[in-house]
Structure 1
Amino acid sequence: MSEPRTFRFQSQLPKLPVPELDETCDRYLTTVKPFLSEQDFERTKLAVEEFKKGGVGQELQKRLVERAQKSETSWLIDWWNEWAYMGYRDPVVINVSYFFVFRDDKRRKQPAARAASLVTGALLFRDSLLKEELEPDMVRTTPLCMQQYKYMFNNCRIPQIPSDITRNSDPKENQHIVVMRKNQFYSLTVIDKDGSQLSTDEIEEQLLKIYEQADKIGKVPAVGALTSEHRDVWTNIRDEMLKSPLNAASLEAIESAILVLCLDDTKPVTHDEASRACWHGDGRNRFYDKSLEFIVFDNGKAGFLGEHSMMDATPTSRLCDFILEGLDNGTINHGTRTGASIEPVRLEFELTDSLLQAIDTAQTNFAALIAKEDLRVVAFDGYGKNLIKKLQVSPDAYTQMAMQLAYYRMYGHCVPTYESGMTKKFLCGRTETCRSVTMESVDWVKAMDDPALSPKEKGELGRKAVGAQSAYMAKCIDGRGVDRHLLGLKLSVLPGEPVPSLFADPAYAYSTHWYLSTSQITSEYFEGYGWGQVVSDGYGIAYMVPNNKLYFNIVSLHLRNDQLEHYLREALMEMREVFEASIPPPKPKPAPVSAPVSAPVAASAPELAAPTVVITP
């Protein structure tokens, strides 16, 4: 076995810092200024000043620093997992889960073949992870934390009151996947007792048996629908189910499985149909608590649904890219026949009248939940990352500004915007909020509708807006955004203590009300990526910036996504014009320095070219 590589940098990673109080307070004021009148901004400045100088902020900062000093990993991680995920009680589907839609595989149009190849790829990735042969994530030469990968396979969220827990099952003892078809569950052992992995052909043969058997039986009561319920409701139902040894054994098989493979009997065609099918499906042929669910439809389309609690989308996007790129390039080893006599085992449930009623109620609640949601995929074919880079701007920041301009034109003002920034350069790092709206971005969106300004002038203002967003993102990646620090200070307030002035000020609640909640994951093998909005009067916009396209997944509670799409397409076309008009001229090459061979260059000679620092989120 080769030298373990996957976690080799973990002990060297720095811990998430606690920024200086003054630094965060000053940066916070900068982020709220775009939304406030002069009078309101002065009120907020007074609240922040009182928080900094009145002793309360200093005391909370002291408590937070002490917590950080005592922590062996991260002062934030336990709070974050609890506050953002495990303590969250609304259904995980729509509210927590995220999805990918895969590009079609022209070599594997039959669903069983497509599904078997995806399982093979996932198992190969798992094998390299278990053997610690997987290279750690890196940004250039900076290693990133790999902790989240420990919750990838054989993992499940378990409902409990008042807060859920995560369950990691022993990978050596659980070498099976769970396959769902027609609401039925099948356990399929994919690695035999000798440790040999079934070949892709063998997996496909077993999946064909599941198709045949499940289709013959037909749809059964949808136990999986129970995982779409409110977490407290699901907790109580699960407790009731566990009273039956048969149910307990079936749930054990599902929760301990490597992954879940959903073989859906639908045939989505359009981007919108495929995205909705991957995001939530029919609410029946799913087990939403599993960390990994691969979905294959009867027309060969496929995708992925992830449970977000212990993993962000970056590890699972790497997993899916590994599979899809390997299948496309022919680098996935499909194995040779093991000859193992392994058959799928149908998991049975003993369903009482009360459990059957609970399933019916869950399906009714699910239908009402998804009926509130509007999803629209914007597949923009005009250009992508390649052209944006030629415009000499950050593709991520550029795309953020497109959303700002679209929203401004639709509503006439700018609103607090969340962009996920990765903090995995720190031990147990997850995310920080990049606040995309700046004074520069507000000036720019207004300038875009000013007929007195030339395209070049508009483009130059746009470059300032892009630069401001990139600079803030760099702070976030460095652990110096404002939101996680402020959350830590807020959670450091003891029960019974008064609400500090900064948090009592209306600007704090408004500036954390994410009317636009955004995040980027990009793959040349995805045709969709998304999740739900985080506030009832806002949008969730997941976006991808591949080489020659742009994708936006717009989700809201029917807030005219079609109009936002119109303004987004309009913004992207106009932005190309103004950014092309404002491309900086090439810098002149420095004149060569000539000197007599025998004469040394003076130590005080001026530098001929200053180093350029490029910040790429």
Structure 2
Amino acid sequence: MAEAHSAVAFSLSVTHDGFNLNFDREVLHLIWLSGKRSWRKRGQRIYNNVSCGIYPGSLKGLGISVAALGSIYYTGYDPTCGLIPWMRCYLPSGPVGEALSCSAVGLGLWGATIFTLRNLLKMLFQYRGWMFEQRGKGSRTSWATKLWYMAVRMLSGWHRPMLYSFQGSLPSLPLPHLEETMQRYLRSVRPLREDGDYVRLEKLANEFQQGIGRKLQRYLVLKSWWATNYVSDWWEEYVYLRGRTPIMVNSNFYGLDAILIHPTTVQAARAANITYGSLMFRRAIERQHLEPIMIQGLVPLCSWQYERVFNTTRLPGEETDRIQHLDDSTWIAVYHKGRYYRMPVYYKARLMEPAELQIQFQRILDDDASVPEKGEEKLAALTAWDRASWAKARQQYFSKGTNRVSLDIIEKAAFVVALDEDEYEFDKKTPEKLNHFAQRMLHGNGYDRWFDKSFTLVIAKNGRMGFNAEHSWSDAPIMAHLWEYCLAEENYLGYDAAGNAKGIVEVELPNPTRLKWDMEKECLETIEYASQCALALLNDVDLKLLVFDTYGKGFMKSAKVSPDAYIQMALQLAYYRDAGRFNLTYEASMTRLFKEGRTETVRPCSLESCAWVQAMEDNSISAEEKITLLRKACQQHQKGYQDAMVGRGIDRHLFCLYVISKYLEIDSPFLKEVLSEPWRLSTSQTPHGQTSKLDLNAHPDCISAGGGFGPVADDGYGVSYIIAGEDLIFFHVSSKKSSPETVSFRLIYYIQTLNIYKQKLNCLASHRSPHDSPATFGRLLKTCEVYLLYLTPTASN
């Protein structure tokens, strides 16, 4: 093994005849290549940091500017109005001093210009008027937006930006005024409260606003001046890292394959190409060749979260976890049949090609001689356990010796790959197959995913794939970007006729190495108990998927409504008919227009949405009026989404005020009530189209089926969706089986009323859920009839 060779690569002995020096040239050459790669990466990182720090300028532009200034000066004309002669007084005389003076003044003038341009760009990015103006045919753009557009294009369009080029030009997240946040909050909860309860809450809000709220706001203003982002550090710490419940189901999320295509059934080949694509994504981040995401090709999103995609692990603590991120890792950890392997992905300081990676994966798949060591198979159940218990077990059983070394290999790997023994498939006639696929990606069997790792890549026996991702280090769009990049890279790499990765292997590759474990009886009992806890948690999850292909964003756009708003209103109606009432609804919106921005909450349940839902339940209201109310609800939702994106949200502001109140040991009845309100309907849209490597118009089947997450509330739903095309939407609906209030199957059917025609009502009756009461099933049939009349394309047109 390489480790053994390294141990004897160099030896020195002293004898009567003198010194005896022995060394292994090959191993020393490997050490040299490894060090060379490390220094090259370090130099590349320094160069990238400098290049991003001077954007929109460039080092080439600096050289041209200094050379041009010197040339003009040597012709006898001083364009600096005396700066160069003044500088010569402080430098040596003669040609050298003259050259140094020209260079110093040129550098100073160029630096001042770039500093001015960066700050002008930062001021321009603070303008948000463009977001609230309608776009498309027949829409008018204001002169202010036109001038802004031209100015931004002129300042930022000099050369192609790198991934972090705009980080220094992004504005800080603005802190909303307390009065505005209180007004928005009260408006958002008005439809959820009875008159008397609303009057009570309004009184509490006014007392808070006029009293302790002002003091808390002043502290928050101070933080907004000092910190890069007044929300993100507290959000990561208190919402994620200080959470003590298991992160499996409760925090981690998953993503699915592009299920409309199946490029290969060879497990090792699929693992190789996707692993290679992931590592190419890592290289693109390191070298900053990855294009920053630009809204409308003009306004950049913050790229800060990309730093921790790879080589990152969430380490458990008794009171709070911490994120461990390494600059580099040259291996991945692989799990197969209850065994863990350290698999190198570099050979002599170069990244292995897909064909070489396939050989490595196949060696693991063919390793039938070895069996899991005691406790190894279910070891990852500890990462699915509650965080405090896992922290104690980690300290007690994995802090030294063989266990420490092996645990380090997993936690310091670039990422984890799980080679599953199951086969996953998509069949429109058998929805349970897709449901099983999603369930396995969300939680596996409770011990075959390393839930602490930034992400675990899962490859099925038949070549299907997905991932499970930890949430604290980033939000879903970052993983969606990685996933889309991998699918695009796979489309480029391709497979041969036999389904294997393309390429010829001409070198002898180092074998993957089995990890060793030495677990005592108490440790084995702890692992078994953790696995039982994980099994109980995952068995309570009710996860169902809906492939909706009757129509999609094409019709929604033709109806001149936002597709996201349209779907959110459909979810409001579906939930109302499922629960018989309105409830607090969460939709995630990004705040990445600002430096280190993450998310903000959009509250889709509004006065307008409730008015439309109630109108849908009233047969005396005309179809025209219902459509008008739907448009108003969509417009209000779109405005709320835009407000959240530009920093005028509600929930992150109130959250930060609550954190300050806890630091000051101040009890606020208003904040306590606000922060304890359950999100019984938690929703999120999975983004796509974040990479230019793949043209989804030309290859629509290459789009992922999206992903999902577990329910946020014990008696609520988690709904994720991806608008996958003009006529395709994937819905992922989760709930808890232990709750008598929720049944994912039932909500799926309420959502599916967009798709069910009257002649299909009899088919629906044969699929009646055993949890449906007669009254509930009656509401379901009513839903099909009413929703069809007003929301199908034919009726709406």
TM-score in terms of structure 2 length:
0.70
Give deviations 1:425-468, integer Å, cap 9, x for gaps: 11111100101111110010111122122222211111111111
Give deviations 1:359-403, integer Å, cap 9, x for gaps: 111111111111111111111121122222122111111111111
- Aligned position for 1:560: 743
The 2-side partners of 1:351 and 1:17 are apart by 52
What does residue range 466-615 of structure 1 map to in structure 2 within 5 Å? Answer: 466-494=634-662, 497-504=665-672, 506=673, 508=674, 512-523=677-688, 525-547=703-725, 548-558=727-737, 559-571=742-754, 578=790, 580=793
What does residue range 7-86 of structure 1 map to in structure 2 within 5 Å? Answer: 7-53=164-210, 55-71=211-227, 73-86=228-241
Give deviations 1:569-605, integer Å, cap 9, x for gaps: 1156665753557979xxxxxxxxxxxxxxxxxxxxx
Assess if the C-alpha contact under 8 Å between 1:179 and 1:187 holds in 2.
Answer: yes
User: How far is the alpha carbon of 1:221 from its aligned partner?
Assistant: 3.5
Higher helix fraction: Structure 1 or Structure 2? 2
SS in 2 for 1:467: helix
Assess if the C-alpha contact under 8 Å between 2:332 and 2:417 holds in 1.
Answer: yes
User: How far is the alpha carbon of 1:217 from its aligned partner?
Assistant: 2.8
Give deviations 1:17-70, integer Å, cap 9, x for gaps: 1101111111111101111122222222222222222x3111111010011112
The 2-side partners of 1:496 and 1:189 are apart by 50
The letter of the residue matching 1:517 is S
Assess if the C-alpha contact under 8 Å between 2:455 and 2:468 holds in 1.
Answer: yes
The 2-side partners of 1:503 and 1:137 are apart by 36
What does residue range 432-443 of structure 1 map to in structure 2 within 5 Å? Answer: 432-443=600-611
Give deviations 1:177-215, integer Å, cap 9, x for gaps: 111101211111112233x11111110011111011157
The letter of the residue matching 1:313 is A
What does residue range 369-408 of structure 1 map to in structure 2 within 5 Å? Answer: 369-408=537-576
Q: 1:325 aligns with which of 471, 488, 503?
A: 488
SS in 2 for 1:526: coil
Give the direction of change, closer, same or farther, for the CA distance of 1:500–1:526 in structure 2 (3 Å limit).
same
- Aligned position for 2:276: 120
The letter of the residue matching 1:486 is L
Structure 2: where are the runs of 5+ without partners? Answer: 1-43, 53-161, 426-432, 496-500, 689-701, 757-785
Give the direction of change, closer, same or farther, for the CA distance of 1:303–1:221 in structure 2 (3 Å limit).
closer
Give the direction of change, closer, same or farther, for the CA distance of 1:215–1:382 in structure 2 (3 Å limit).
farther
Give deviations 1:497-534, integer Å, cap 9, x for gaps: 44235325x5x256x31010110104462224111111
What does residue range 141-180 of structure 1 map to in structure 2 within 5 Å? Answer: 141-171=298-328, 174-180=329-335
- Aligned position for 1:593: none
The 2-side partners of 1:214 and 1:537 are apart by 45
- Aligned position for 1:612: none
Give deviations 1:149-189, integer Å, cap 9, x for gaps: 11100110011121000011131xx2111111012111111
The 2-side partners of 1:322 and 1:131 are apart by 16
User: How far is the alpha carbon of 1:337 from its aligned partner?
Assistant: 4.5
The letter of the residue matching 1:82 is E
Q: 2:266 aligns with which of 110, 115, 129?
A: 110
Assess if the C-alpha contact under 8 Å between 1:182 and 1:214 holds in 2.
Answer: no
The 2-side partners of 1:88 and 1:244 are apart by 26
Assess if the C-alpha contact under 8 Å between 2:705 and 2:724 holds in 1.
Answer: no
User: How far is the alpha carbon of 1:80 from its aligned partner?
Assistant: 0.5
The 1-side partners of 2:478 and 2:416 are apart by 17
The letter of the residue matching 2:185 is Y
SS in 1 for 2:445: coil
The 2-side partners of 1:67 and 1:254 are apart by 37
Structure 1: where are the runs of 5+ without partners? Answer: 585-617
Assess if the C-alpha contact under 8 Å between 2:446 and 2:538 holds in 1.
Answer: no
SS in 1 for 2:366: helix
The letter of the residue matching 2:183 is D
Deviates more, 1:292-301 or 1:563-572: 563-572
Assess if the C-alpha contact under 8 Å between 2:589 and 2:600 holds in 1.
Answer: yes
The 2-side partners of 1:428 and 1:562 are apart by 38
The two structures, once aligned, show a CA RMSD in angstroms of 2.2
The 2-side partners of 1:501 and 1:582 are apart by 48
The 2-side partners of 1:518 and 1:369 are apart by 21
- Aligned position for 1:419: 587
What does residue range 443-458 of structure 1 map to in structure 2 within 5 Å? Answer: 443-458=611-626
Assess if the C-alpha contact under 8 Å between 2:273 and 2:493 holds in 1.
Answer: no
- Aligned position for 1:314: 477
Assess if the C-alpha contact under 8 Å between 2:586 and 2:604 holds in 1.
Answer: yes
Q: 1:459 aligns with which of 602, 621, 627?
A: 627
Assess if the C-alpha contact under 8 Å between 2:494 and 2:502 holds in 1.
Answer: no
The letter of the residue matching 1:308 is H
SS in 2 for 1:563: helix
The 2-side partners of 1:556 and 1:143 are apart by 36
Give the direction of change, closer, same or farther, for the CA distance of 1:316–1:187 in structure 2 (3 Å limit).
same
Give the direction of change, closer, same or farther, for the CA distance of 1:485–1:340 in structure 2 (3 Å limit).
farther
Give the direction of change, closer, same or farther, for the CA distance of 1:20–1:377 in structure 2 (3 Å limit).
same
The answer to which structure, 1 or 2, has the higher relative contact order (CA under 8 A, 6+ apart) is 1
Give the direction of change, closer, same or farther, for the CA distance of 1:182–1:59 in structure 2 (3 Å limit).
same
The 2-side partners of 1:10 and 1:161 are apart by 35
TM-score in terms of structure 1 length:
0.89
Give deviations 1:554-580, integer Å, cap 9, x for gaps: 111122222111111115666575355
User: How far is the alpha carbon of 1:261 from its aligned partner?
Assistant: 0.6
User: How far is the alpha carbon of 1:414 from its aligned partner?
Assistant: 0.9
The 2-side partners of 1:289 and 1:214 are apart by 28
Assess if the C-alpha contact under 8 Å between 1:184 and 1:222 holds in 2.
Answer: no
Assess if the C-alpha contact under 8 Å between 1:423 and 1:429 holds in 2.
Answer: yes
The 2-side partners of 1:446 and 1:532 are apart by 29
The 1-side partners of 2:537 and 2:571 are apart by 26
User: How far is the alpha carbon of 1:273 from its aligned partner?
Assistant: 0.5
User: How far is the alpha carbon of 1:324 from its aligned partner?
Assistant: 0.7
Assess if the C-alpha contact under 8 Å between 1:537 and 1:557 holds in 2.
Answer: yes
Q: 1:302 aligns with which of 460, 465, 482?
A: 465
The letter of the residue matching 1:541 is V
The letter of the residue matching 2:705 is E
- Aligned position for 1:99: 254
SS in 2 for 1:342: coil
SS in 1 for 2:346: coil
SS in 2 for 1:93: coil
Give the direction of change, closer, same or farther, for the CA distance of 1:477–1:93 in structure 2 (3 Å limit).
same
